[in-house]
Amino acid sequence: MDFGGVRVRQINSITIGLLCLTLGACTSVHKPAPVVNLSKGKTTSSKKIHIKNNRYKVKKGDTLFAIAFSASKDVRTVAKINNIKPPYTIYPGQTILLTYPKKANKSNKVSSPKIKNNTNNKPLNNKLSKKELDPPSQREYVQKQANKKTNDTSTLLNKKVRWNWPAVGKVTRRFSIKENGYKGIQITNKTGTSIKAAANGIVVYAGSALRGYGNLIILKHTDDYLSAYAHNSKLLVREQQQVKVGQKIAEMGNSDSSSVALRFEVRYRGKSVDPMRYLPRK
């Protein structure tokens, strides 16, 4: 009888277990699991983030911070466009728009600018002609002015953040304002050199899904400032971890790079700014 009783209890426990599994499956059908579980640290995505036509389909392991960083956008702007509230949880298969969708025109007619007849056969305005013939120079000038405005504004707000050098080594590349220029500084040293947090902050990305950055860490310091640490050989922190200035967060390497060095970037409201403007003079 005792044997029979044990057997009955075993059967009952198995039945209850199967019932729980069935009920659990039923409750999880309607909503996909979020991409990021804030308690689990490093992301697991092996595929690179590739943004096409100002939109991106979320894969497992992605974060909104990483997507916004790839697009050089402020995460708050991207969140607003997609109506995503903090803490910015996203889901596999979700489409993230990087710009507001264009409104459809009611009319397909395209209005052409009216050009007055040049009855006197006088040459066209020299300023207009020069602008039309030399658009790249004009774009470069506008970009320089925009960068100057961003740097001036960010310098005023920089008092809120205490910056320090992220690694010991030689600066072998510097920031460039050119469209395809280097958007950070490169600090060269040997494999395993300590990479440290340049300021107090929180880890908002730790992984390798960003094309050209290798093993990457992104820290959020304020609502306006982020810093990025790329090409590491080893990551020593997890997402949502609080870090202090000078705390070791990674080790130098050459992941996704041809040389052993740290690529260090500072972003102000999503835009790259010159890190040398923030770091103390050596």
Give the model's pLDDT for residue 276: 97
Is this model's pTM higher than 0.75 or not? no
Higher pLDDT among residues 78 and 123, named by residue: 78
Residue tagged 């009319």 (tokens): 107
**pLDDT at residue 53 is higher than 80:** yes
Nearest to 244 by CA among 192, 198, 193, 194: 198
Higher pLDDT among residues 171 and 154, named by residue: 171
DSSP class per residue in 230-245: EEEEEE---TT-EE-T
Q: Which two tokens stand for residue 259?
A: 């040389």
Give the model's pLDDT for residue 179: 85
Mode of pairing for the β-strands spanning 201-207 and 242-243: antiparallel
CA distance 105 to 153: 36
**pLDDT at residue 8 is higher than 90:** no
CA distance 97 to 82: 6
Which pairs from 171-175 meet CB under 8 Å and 24+ separation?
Answer: 172/261, 174/274, 174/276, 175/272, 175/273, 175/274, 175/275, 175/276
Mode of pairing for the β-strands spanning 185-188 and 194-196: unpaired
CA distance 215 to 253: 9
To the nearest whole number, what is the mean pLDDT of the chain? 79
Contact assessment for residue 35 and residue 60, using Cβ atoms and an 8 Å cutoff: yes
CA distance 138 to 94: 38
**pLDDT at residue 261 is higher than 90:** yes
CA distance 265 to 231: 12
pLDDT band for position 21 (cuts 50, 70, 90): very low
